[in-house]
Each structure stands twice: as C-alpha cells, then as structure tokens.
Amino acid sequence: MGALRDQMDKDMVLRGMSPRTRESYLSAVRGLAKHYRKSPDTLTERDVQNYLLYLIEERKLAWSSCNIVVHGLKFFYHTTLRRDQMTFVIPRRRAPSRLPEMLSREEILALFDAAPLLKHRVLLMTAYAAGLRVSELVHLRITDIDPNRMMIRVEQGKGAKDRYTVLSEQLLAELRQYWKRERPAPWLFPATRNPQAPMHAKTAQKVFYHCKQRAGIAKRCGIHSLRHAFATHLLEGGTDIHRIQRLLGHGQVATTMRYFHLAQSSLMQTPSPLESLAARVAIRR
C-alpha cells in the first residue's frame, strides 16, 4: 500500500496531526492489510468490521487500542478514500476507568539508582522533574534548557502548543554532568546509532521498563507514570492546581483535577465521618 500510505500520511500532515498519531493510524491500516493480505482499498465494510471483531475476541486487545484502530481506519476510508458511507464500530467501553498506579518517592529514587547508564538516569530524571510526555522528552534540544531563567522549553507539545516547565537545580547539575561526558547535540537525548536523530519514544519506554525491573518495582506502569508522579507530588506539596495545569500543558483545568484522586495527602487528610460521632459516643459511655 505504498501509494495509499503516502497519500494518507499527506492527508494527516495537512490536518496538523502529530507524528505519533500519524504512525498509530498508519499502523492500524497496515494491520488490516496484513490480516487479509489484500490492499485495504479493496476491502468491504463487512471485512473491516470482522477485523475489528477479530481484534476484540481473538487478539484480546484493550478497548483503548481498538479505539485507536477504529479512528485510524475511519480516517483512511473517510478522508483518504472518501468513502463517507462506510461505518464500523466497536462496543462501548464497559470497564470503569482505572486510576494509574502511582510511584512513590522512594520508588522513583530506586528507579534512578537502577539506571545502568548516566544518559538513562538523566532521561528518567528529566521526565519526572519537568513532568514531560515521552514524545516531549525525546524531542528536547540542548537549546531548550534555559539555566538563566531555570526553565525548560517544550516545543510543539500535545495540541501543537509550546510551553515552559520548571528546571530544578538538581536536574541542572545532572544535565551538566551528562553534557560534559556525552556532548550530545543538537538533541538532548540522541539515538544511539544516529546521534543526529532524537531517541525514539519506544526506546525511552524500554529504558523505563528495564530500570523498573532492576529496581524491583512490580507496579503496572510505564514512563508516563513519571509525569503523573510529577503532578501528584506537586499537588501534595501544596502547589496551586492552575500552576500545575500550565506546567503540564493542559488546555482545561478539569484534566488536571484528576490528580486530586491520586494525591494521598489530600485523601488521607479527609476525616472519616466516624470522627464526628466520637464525642457523642464518649458521652453515652
């Protein structure tokens, strides 16, 4: 599907989609073509629906993964092939959304200590210290670090928005040590085989999993959990929710409010209603 792939990618570029979204959508169409061993433009609506059924019942893919496939296929058929009449669906999500497993401060320190390379240690520290998404992390340039204003510039984050986030003194010291030893340029975390290209997001995720295993952390979480921990630990430390919103790059404060559910200090400070009965119980005795 070389020509179709190129056309679909051009259609997505024209609509301002991020590289990560484009790759996810292209992967969805590749999977469909590989399953039937046919060009996807020759498949029917029933073929596509049966493929989605296969992903759910036989591959046992998570609802979120199937949903990405649906969006990718819809874009291909509706936008690239202009077949607006084609419709296909997956069952609505039935399972309740789950809160991510939160890493404690001790576990995060253990994660850093488990990194076998300085580059990997600084990579994980930067993700946590600045609250970055993995795509933002691997696309940092040396020039994005601003030690004069103690800020990190995040260029074209989610939603194609630039923003600034905090640069801690401790992280700056680690970054300077890393730069003296590795001399990376222009990317802060370049790819190993091609230093002129940034590290791939999947590589950063693998680094996290490797260090998590070495640290003996059993919680189910990926590198994005460091961004969750950044926001939650700031909230527990008393940082204003609107400031956290700006640091994370959230368009709506409602998105940031979910971290109230993860902040243990705010939860644990909530008194049980039994406490309000304590005095009455004492009087009765």
Q: Are residues 165 and 262 in the same domain?
A: yes
Q: Are residues 140 and 200 in the same domain?
A: yes
Taking 80 as the threshold, does the pLDDT of residue 89 lie above it?
no
Is 134 a domain residue?
yes
Q: How far apart are CA 227 and CA 222, in angstroms?
A: 10
For 154-182, write each residue's pLDDT tens digit.
986 565 678 999 999 999 999 999 999 99
Domain that holds residue 40: 2-80
- Predicted local distance difference test score (pLDDT) of residue 93: 61
How many Cβ atoms sit within 10 Å of the Cβ of residue 120? 20
Q: Are residues 165 and 260 in the same domain?
A: yes
Q: How far apart are CA 63 and CA 92, in angstroms?
A: 8
Of the candidates 232, 208, 211, the one whose C-alpha atom is nearest the C-alpha of residue 222 is 208
Is 110 a domain residue?
yes
Q: Are residues 35 and 111 in the same domain?
A: no
Q: Residue 272, CB half-sphere, CA atoms under 13 Å: how many?
A: 4
Report the domain count for the chain. 2
Average pLDDT of 249-261?
74
Domain final residue pick, 18, 46, 80: 80
Phi-psi region of 216 (alpha: psi -120 to 50; beta: other; left: phi over 0): left
CA dist 142 to 119, 146, 179, Å? Answer: 14, 9, 9
Q: Are residues 131 and 234 in the same domain?
A: yes
- Predicted local distance difference test score (pLDDT) of residue 262: 64
Taking 70 as the threshold, does the pLDDT of residue 278 lie above it?
no
Q: Are residues 261 and 125 in the same domain?
A: yes
For 211-230, write each residue's pLDDT tens digit.
999 999 999 999 999 999 99
Average pLDDT of 202-209?
96
- Predicted local distance difference test score (pLDDT) of residue 165: 93
Taking 90 as the threshold, does the pLDDT of residue 18 lie above it?
no
- For the full predicted model, state whether its pTM sits above 0.85: no
How many Cβ atoms sit within 10 Å of the Cβ of residue 144? 18
Taking 80 as the threshold, does the pLDDT of residue 208 lie above it?
yes
- Predicted local distance difference test score (pLDDT) of residue 267: 46
Look up the CATH number of the domain holding residue 43: 1.10.150.130
Q: Are residues 52 and 128 in the same domain?
A: no
Look up the CATH number of the domain holding residue 126: 1.10.443.10
Q: Are residues 253 and 155 in the same domain?
A: yes
- Predicted local distance difference test score (pLDDT) of residue 120: 97
For 35-58, write each residue's pLDDT tens digit.
999 999 999 999 999 999 999 889
Percent of the chain with pLDDT over 90: 59
Residue 153: Cβ-neighbour burial (10 angstroms; 0-12, 13-18, 19+): middle
Q: Are residues 172 and 262 in the same domain?
A: yes
SS3 content of the chain, % helix, strand, coil (to 5): 60, 5, 35
Percent of the chain with pLDDT over 70: 85
CA angle 166, 169, 174 (to 5 degrees): 105
Catalytic residues: 133, 158, 224, 227, 250, 259
